[in-house]
Structure 1
Amino acid sequence: MIQRVSAYSDRLRIALLILNESYWSRRILHGIARYADVNGGWDFWLHPRGMEQPRRLPADWRGQGVISRISNEPLRQSIALHNLPTINVSWLGDHCARFPKVIADPLAAGQLASSFFVERGFEHIGYVGPPLYYGYQDVILPELTKTAENAGCRAYQFVPDPDVKQADFDFQRVRLVDWVRSLPKPVGIVAWHMIQAREIMLTCSAEGINVPNEVAVLAVENDPLVSQLSPIPVSYVEQRIERVGFESAQELQRLISGGKPRDKPLLIPPEGVVEMASTDTVFANDTLVQDAVAFIKQNCDVAINVSDLVQHLDVSRRSLEDRFRKVLKRSPAEEIRFTRVRILKNLLKTTDLTLVEISRQTGHSCEKSMLRFFKRMTGLTPGAYRQSHPQVPRDNDQEDSWD
């Protein structure tokens, strides 16, 4: 018998059947723990397991609810036997009243990833989907393709070798090399997860293909360690995984209290794209535009304008405007504004600097100037943007709890 009595009789006893070997799953567990902590504490039954370990809820476990990554039928059946409120946090399977889902929104992630490359002037977008052995119905690809084609871009899908079942993506290396070679350049490639993104970059390095100027790489699923082990840091979609965990715990408590399951999955939209070196592309064969973009990035902490670009490049304003619109489909002034607002967003999301400090670091004359610029560009005040994009909680983070 594994049944045990909690030292705290009023605490909910919750079973967690979630992978703990991946960064994604551990962040879900962080979110669940955070919700439980601010709601009096829960007594967890945690089944430590990885991909190859048995997945089931023992028949003699007793508790009030379950949060699980329901990835196969034996696990589903072992949970169903208990007839307890259950939340499914996996993209696998369908949403239903018995196993309602709380998940990161995969369609929004596909749209965001594709839009990211479209907005940066890419005409070609590649996609490497989940390995076949994962068993996922790939809902990211259709949204990515639709977004690209609606913008007049072309999408390319990597088709893995169906006879290769190994988890190590290195076994697809030969086919991946041929695919990357065949793509028109420059191309932005969206990878299902960070392991694939790293493999793409290793392939490019071995083939003498420049990342990010010929091939830019963006991962849908983040893993900071794998990114650190890559040739250069990898950009990724910030999918607010801790929020998935937090909302799944909150939804479970609602069901335990007598609430009815939702008709549709509770989808947590992505926060945005975290830009790293793998997508820091300087476009085109036009060296003048390349130099201009590099100058804008190097001087993002001062209030440069188009006249500064003209003087630095020793070119006429009209010529600069024409070449920017031909290559990037936008003006030099728009490129300056977009670059400055991206930096502001990044500082607001990833630091706790005051608005005065941020305005000083980004070349604004004063805080009010920065406030006006940010609201004009985004429709939000910096404070509202920061509030809607909470920083990733740390183990010792005592910030508010998304309530």
Structure 2
Amino acid sequence: MTPHRIALLFNANKVYDRQVIAGIGQYLKSTRVVWDLFLEEDFRCRTLGIQHWRGDGIIADFDDPTVEEALAHLSIPVVAIGGSYADDSRYPANIPYVATDNTKLVRVAYDHLIEQGLQRFAFYGLPPSPGNRWAQEREDAFLRMIAADGLEGMVYRGSPTSAGGWGRSQEDMVAWVRSLPKPIGVVAVTDARARQLLQACVVADVPIPEQIAVVGIDNDPMAQLLSRIPLTSVIQGAEEMGRMAAQVLHQMLHGGDCSSTRVLVPPVGLCVQASSQHEPLRSPYVMRAKHYIRQYACLGIKTEQVADYVGISRTLLEEHFKRELKQTVHQAILEHKLEMARSMLVDNSIPLAEVAVRCGFTSLQYMYAVFRREFNCTPRQFLGMAKI
């Protein structure tokens, strides 16, 4: 059997593109299709000569208009992957298209914020550019949802991300964060933008999620790793997009006419973390204290440090905690550390000793003792129960 030569034109440096590629690989393994794959880490510098490539088919990211233009008149089968459009005329003509459903991505984030009891909403997007058409679609979807509910949504696009302009961009974002009516829920167009927003809230000293609840899109592990406050994020169906695109190309390689095929892939779900779990708190002292605890509990902070940050005495802070949350400040710190430990225990690749250190326990033995006291089991036993 002579393998088909297939080019995958994606930016393998992006988590979304890698997930699409993973879905293509899963299709090949599940069907025993034999393809020789051509893949560059970043294909954009190769599109100018792609018409001379002697291959059998292409699966490409059509969110970049230069790619769409470069592949428009090829004689070999091409399957496009990209974002969905409200206007059907924006889809490429006579090319099968597998899309992430931008409207449903935003709907999942927006509905989650409504479920948290919020009544004000904003959107943090990207400045318009030919390569950001998908971002504009998500912004438009948000505005349609807000209008349908009779609300006025606020939109902030900020600046393109660049090292040189980052200082000014963050200052502008901090000013926007402070100007927002609160409490408010913010949908970020990507996890990368959501992480920037979380940083701005920290700089602006605005508690998350009590005053600003944040939801991103992508479920990007890197964004989670680099955020002090765990980020709630919509999980795209990128792997399913890859599987579907590979299936369509497979049919085309065997004579199938798929030129009118268009598939919208819905999101997989929502990964809920601390950034969106809005709790309406009456006491501004408790609100500030919880904001500080979310950032620094795993660094071993004590009640006195929390009180110093809030700017009141330890005794007064304890009174507010007991009245509002029915717990002490120490219990709130420990609760956060245990929450982080439980989420890490699900990952078998992280040694238990490392879990203890990263969650702020003085030793593995102490973490074991706390688990026995709070849950009547060891961390390993808890891990086993989490898998059931």
d(CA) in 1 for partners of 2:271, 2:62? 29
CA RMSD of aligned residues (A): 3.6
Deviation string, structure 1 residues 191-214 (Cα, Å, up to 9, x no partner) = 111111111111111111111111
Structure 1 residue identity aligned to 2:67: L
Instruction: Determine helix, strand or coil for the equivalent of 2:109.
Output: helix
- The 5-angstrom pairing of residues 332-347 of structure 1 reads none
2:102 matched to 1:110?
A: no
Within the candidate set 106, 117, 121, 2:117 is matched to 121
Task: Say if 1:56 and 1:74, in contact at 8 Å, map to a contact too.
Answer: no
Alignment-derived partner of residue 89 in structure 1: 81
Q: Distance in 2 between matches of 1:286 and 1:208?
A: 16
Distance 1:216 1:72, change over 3 A: closer
Q: Spell out the pairing of 1:7-26 with structure 2 (5 A cutoff).
A: 8-9=1-2, 11-26=3-18
User: Which of 144, 147, 154 is equivalent to 2:145?
Assistant: 147
- Structure 2 vs 1, CA of residues 57 and 245 (structure 1 numbering), >3 Å: closer, same or farther? farther
Structure 2 residue 58 is matched with structure 1 residue 66: yes
* Comparing 129-138 and 231-240, the one that deviates more: 129-138
Does 2:46 correspond to 1:46? no
Q: Counterpart in 1 of 2:169?
A: 172
Spell out, residue by residue over 1:173-226, the C-alpha distance to the aligned partner (whole angstroms, 9 max, x if none): 222112111111111111111111111111111111111111111112231112
Q: Which residue of 2 aligns with 1:401?
A: none
2:267 to 248, 265, 270: 270
Corresponding residue to 1:75 among 44, 47, 67: 67
Report the Cα offset of residue 152 of structure 1: 4.8
Q: Deviations over 1:118-165 (max 9, x none)?
A: 12211111111134343315111232223234345441100435xx67
Partner of 2:252: 255
Residue pairs, 1:150-161, within 5 angstroms: 150-160=148-158
Conserved in 2, the CA contact under 8 Å of 1:218 and 1:237?
A: yes
Aligned to 2:99, what secondary structure does the other structure show?
Answer: strand
Identical-residue share of aligned pairs (%): 24
Is structure 2 residue 226 aligned with structure 1 residue 233? no
Q: Which residue of 1 aligns with 2:206?
A: 209
CA distance in 2, matches of 1:167, 1:270: 32
| Aligned-pair CA distance for 1:284 | 4.2
1:224-251, CA deviations, whole angstroms, 9 ceiling, x for partnerless residues? 1122111112110011211111111112
Does the 8 Å CA contact 2:122/2:187 hold for their aligned counterparts? yes
Q: Which consecutive segments of 4 or more residues in structure 1 shift more than 6 A?
A: none
Question: Residues 25 and 123 of structure 1: is their aligned pair in 2 closer, same or farther, counting only changes over 3 Å?
Answer: same
Q: Specify whether residues 67 and 183 from structure 1 end up closer, same or farther in structure 2 by C-alpha distance, changes over 3 A only.
A: same
Displacement after TM superposition at 1:252 (Å): 1.5
Q: Distance in 1 between matches of 2:186 and 2:205?
A: 17
> How high is the TM-score relative to the length of structure 2?
0.66
Residue 13 of structure 1 aligns with an amino acid whose one-letter code is R
Q: Structure 1 residues 236 and 23 mapped into 2: Cα distance closer, same or farther (>3 Å)?
A: same
Closer/same/farther in 2, CA of residues 264 and 153 from structure 1, 3 Å limit:
farther
In structure 1, the partner of 2:315 is: none
The 3 A distance-change label for structure 1 pair 149 and 264 is farther
* Number of the residue aligned with 2:309: none
Please tell me whether the aligned partners of residues 187 and 214 of structure 1 are also in contact (alpha carbons under 8 angstroms). yes
Deviation at 1:168, TM superposition (A): 7.8
Partner secondary structure for residue 96 of structure 1? coil
- Cα separation, 1, equivalents of 2:58 and 2:163: 28
How far, CA to CA, are the matches of 2:52 and 2:45 in structure 1?
19
Query: Given that residues 95 and 259 in structure 2 are in contact (C-alpha distance below 8 angstroms), is that contact kept between their aligned partners in structure 1?
Result: no
- In the alignment, the residues of structure 2 paired with residue 269 and residue 275 of structure 1 have an alpha-carbon distance, to the nearest angstrom, of 18
Which structure's residues are more often helix, by fraction? Answer: 2
CA contact (8 A) 1:194 1:223 kept: yes
Q: Which runs of 5+ in 2 are unaligned?
A: 288-321, 325-342, 348-388
**Does the CA contact (< 8 Å) of 2:27 and 2:247 recur in 1?**
yes
Query: Which runs of 5 or more structure 1 residues have no equivalent in the other structure?
Result: 1-7, 291-312, 316-346, 352-403
TM normalised by structure 1 equals 0.63
Q: Which moved more, 1:34-43 or 1:65-74?
A: 65-74
1-structure distance, mates of 2:16, 2:245: 14
- Residues 18 and 69 of structure 1 are in contact (CA less than 8 Å); yes or no, is this contact kept in structure 2? yes
